[in-house]
Amino acid sequence: MEKFISFDEIKKSLENRETDCSAIVKYYLQNIQTKAHLNAFVEVYEQSALAQAELINEKIASGKAGRLAGMVIGIKDVLCYDAHEANASSKILQGFESQFTGTAVQRLIDEDAIVIGRLNCDEFGMGSSNENSVHGRVLNAADETRVPGGSSGGSAVAVQANLCTVSLGTDTGGSVRQPAAFTGIVGIKPTYSRVSRWGLIAYASSFDTIGVFSKTVKDNALVMEIMAGHDNFDSTASRKPVPKYSELLHFDKRVKIAYIKETIESPALQPEIKANTLAVLEKLKNEGHQVEEVDFPLLKYTLPTYYILTTAEASSNLSRFDGVKYGYRTPNAHNLESMYKLTRSEGFGEEVKRRIMLGTFVLSASYYDAYFTKAQKVRRMIKESTEDLLNKFDYIIMPTTPSTAFKFGEHSNDPVAMYLEDLFTVQASVSGVPALSIPNGKDKLGLPIGLQIITNSFKEAELYAFANYLSAFNSN
Amino acid sequence: MKIDVNTLKKIAHLARLEFDEAGAEKMTQDMSQILDWVEQLNEVDTQGVEPITTMSSEVNVLREDAVANHLTHEQGLKNAPQRDSDYFRVPKVME
């Protein structure tokens, strides 16, 4: 069978009766098997995917198929899917079987998407290289000696290597956009609260979003418009109506674009990434758009703000893993307290423990104001400055990452060096605004470069349309 | 901020975690390094700024208080490491 790149191609093949859903699922199953060494999938749902394909074939025959009939998706190992295991790549959730399906996943299934398996990631979404996983590391298909990015590394590689049409990841500080950049695909972090978090194993609840990986902007937009919207099971989920993003991709206006001096002049920025970003800005100017350099002096404070607040929220969220109700329990305890302590010490990995400890510290009575409250104040300042900027400009453009994919182990001994990987992605996370990464050429080693586009809250339609326009002239 | 072993032990107890000697040493170093780095925030003048406490613009989202099907008893206990027919089982609480 020919190679499917986009859902449009799948739909066309289905319409022309050149293929059916069973053949499509088998095509991806074959690819998953051939590329098993990449370690993107934690578990493949071969039987249920094939059974589902048969049902959808019948629906297509009777004209009752949903909008995603023929789409095969993979889901990150932090999303709940009824009667299937979810581990958040952690030993502490080994053997845990979801008893319900999260809203985002359910909405895709309701439109006849087929879930083919769950995907590797950093433990509880904490990491930028997918090296912190009880399931082992994921290899970047562009260069197998390099990381795929994280935390949604498996989700990125599954789309990169054609193991499914589209995948779901989660983005708390860059965990969709950074791996999308490292693997040369499209990845979105929507506005905070745009997609219900019901059924997402929480890391930092005021930052967590569910995002989409795809080969094309259009596929990404279609999946997002189906997942997004109000949900009775998440009181933070926005009630704003969801436009049909995939039908609003036409773009022919002239817009105002800002680029932040502190990003383009960052000493950490790899020269080829700088050159490719500047080249896009130059092209945009030539196309008649208004492009302006702006200062954003708070940029250097986004990462420290992010780490104080996310570790605090994580220490609270992860207190539920105590060995009582689900998952791993130590066999070595002699009383209840030692059961808690040993279960958690044996069940969580190094990075997760480090973040729980930091979060507990910044929330402890003596340090609460100095760290936690201070970070909440700076977060307000960053959010308001970002929104002000986005009231003056339609879009902010910057590199998605300071470097292309790095080697395994390169940052493993220095937590702060690893945290700096998220230098450009955390601004949107701290501010709650949507951001998307698209491919922007390659560096001299042939590794993919990502370009990030940021816009104001709930302007996903504008974000997708502009990304689609940029993707088209980027490939010329 | 330098974290000493005593502070580390207190925080570990609050977080219900335990570290052996080598682990505690490494954790004090990592935490001290990360705290030194986040203390950059002290350079920012936040006089008069209200701390932000919610990121969603939804306010008081309420729904009908209706009886609905949530997890069954059996589903609730399904993933328990140790259980009997009705309850989660844990080690002795009192010696």
Q: Chain A, 370-399: which have a CB under 8 Å from a chain B CB?
A: 371, 373-381, 383
Q: Quick check: A84 contacting B, CB < 8 Å?
A: no
Return all residues near A285 (Cβ < 8 A) that are at least 6 apart: A291
Q: Residue B61: pLDDT band by 50, 70, 90 thresholds?
A: confident
Which chain A residues touch B90 with a CB distance below 8 Å? 324, 336, 339
A282: its two tokens: 């130059």
Domain-embedded: residue B83 = no
Asked if A378 and B78 come within 8 Å (Cβ–Cβ), the reply is no
Domain-embedded: residue B74 = no
- From the list A315, A325, A419, which residue is nearest B15 (CB)? A315
Q: Residue A445: pLDDT band by 50, 70, 90 thresholds?
A: very high
Give the residue among A208, A202, A268, A215 at the shortest CA–CA distance from A424: A268
The C-alpha angle with vertex A171 and arms to B59 and A49, in degrees rounded to 5, equals 105
* Residue A351 pLDDT exceeds 70: yes
Rg (C-alpha) for chain A, rounded Å, is 21
- From the list B18, B30, B44, which residue is nearest A301 (CB)? B44
Query: Residue A25: in which H helix or E strand, if any?
Result: helix A21-34
The predicted pLDDT at position A475 comes to: 62
Q: Quick check: B69 contacting A, CB < 8 Å?
A: no
Torsion, Cα A298 A299 A304 A308, to 10 degrees, reads 70
Which strands form A41-44's sheet, in the order they lie side by side?
A41-44, A114-119, A72-76, A166-171, A209-214, A186-189, A435-442, A448-454, A395-399, A256-260, A290-294
Percent of chain B with pLDDT over 90: 79
- From the list B44, B80, B92, which residue is nearest A378 (CB)? B44
Q: How many CA atoms lie less than 13 Å away from A351 in the CB half-sphere?
A: 26
Q: Residue B62: pLDDT band by 50, 70, 90 thresholds?
A: confident
Provide the mean pLDDT of chain A.
Answer: 96
Q: Quick check: B59 contacting A, CB < 8 Å?
A: no
How many whole angstroms separate alpha carbon A62 and alpha carbon A9? 21
The predicted pLDDT at position A106 comes to: 98
The predicted pLDDT at position B94 comes to: 74
Which chain A residues touch B2 with a CB distance below 8 Å? none
**Cis omega before residue A151 (within 30°)?**
yes
> Does the model's pTM come out above 0.90?
yes
The predicted pLDDT at position A415 comes to: 82
Q: Quick check: A316 contacting B, CB < 8 Å?
A: no
* A131-155 mean pLDDT: 98
Query: Residue A381: in which H helix or E strand, if any?
Result: helix A374-392
Q: How far is A232 from chain B (nearest CA, A)?
A: 7
The predicted pLDDT at position A419 comes to: 86
Give the residue among A83, A93, A88, A98 at the shortest CA–CA distance from A119: A88
Q: Residue B89: pLDDT band by 50, 70, 90 thresholds?
A: very high
* B59-81 mean pLDDT: 89
How many whole angstroms separate alpha carbon A305 and alpha carbon A385? 14
> Is B94 in contact with B83 (CB distance < 8 Å)?
no
Which chain A residues touch B19 with a CB distance below 8 Å? 345
* Residue A476 pLDDT exceeds 70: no
Which chain B residues touch A126 with a CB distance below 8 Å? none
Per the structure, the complete domain to which residue B33 belongs is given by: 5-40
CATH of the domain at B16: 1.10.20
Beta strands in B1-95 (DSSP E): none
- Superfamily for domain range A1-476: Amidase signature (AS) domain (3.90.1300.10)
Q: Name the domain count of chain B.
A: 1
Residue pointed to by tokens 């609270």 = A316
Interface confidence (ipTM) of the complex = 0.96
* A197-206 mean pLDDT: 98
- From the list A326, A356, A381, which residue is nearest B80 (CB)? A326
Which chain A residues touch B69 with a CB distance below 8 Å? none
Asked if B34 and A236 come within 8 Å (Cβ–Cβ), the reply is no
The predicted pLDDT at position A2 comes to: 57
The domain limits of chain A are 1-476
Which chain A residues touch B7 with a CB distance below 8 Å? 361
* A124-145 mean pLDDT: 97
Domain-embedded: residue B27 = yes
Return all residues near A100 (Cβ < 8 A) that are at least 6 apart: A80, A82, A199, B71
Least confident of A41-45, B10-14, B35-39, B59-63: B59-63
Three-state secondary structure readout of A148-160: CCCCCHHHHHHHH
In chain B, the residue whose alpha carbon lies closest to the alpha carbon of A363 is B11
Give the residue among A197, A94, A123, A80 at the shortest CA–CA distance from A355: A123
How many whole angstroms separate alpha carbon A145 and alpha carbon A168? 24
The string of pLDDT tens digits covering residues A393-412 is 999 999 999 999 999 999 88
The string of pLDDT tens digits covering residues A65-90 is 999 999 999 999 999 999 999 999 99
Least confident of A196-200, A306-310, A415-419, A457-461: A415-419
Q: Quick check: A233 contacting B, CB < 8 Å?
A: no
How many whole angstroms separate alpha carbon A185 and alpha carbon A152? 13
Asked if A416 and B37 come within 8 Å (Cβ–Cβ), the reply is yes
Percent of chain A with pLDDT over 70: 99
Asked if A348 and B17 come within 8 Å (Cβ–Cβ), the reply is yes
Domain-embedded: residue B14 = yes
The predicted pLDDT at position B95 comes to: 66
Give the number of A-B residue pairs with CB atoms closer than 8 Å.
163
How many whole angstroms separate alpha carbon A81 and alpha carbon B1? 43
The predicted pLDDT at position A416 comes to: 84
> Is A463 in contact with A434 (CB distance < 8 Å)?
yes
Return all residues near B83 (Cβ < 8 A) that are at least 6 apart: B77, B89
Residue pointed to by tokens 């010490």 = A345
In chain B, the residue whose alpha carbon lies closest to the alpha carbon of A84 is B79
* A4-21 mean pLDDT: 93
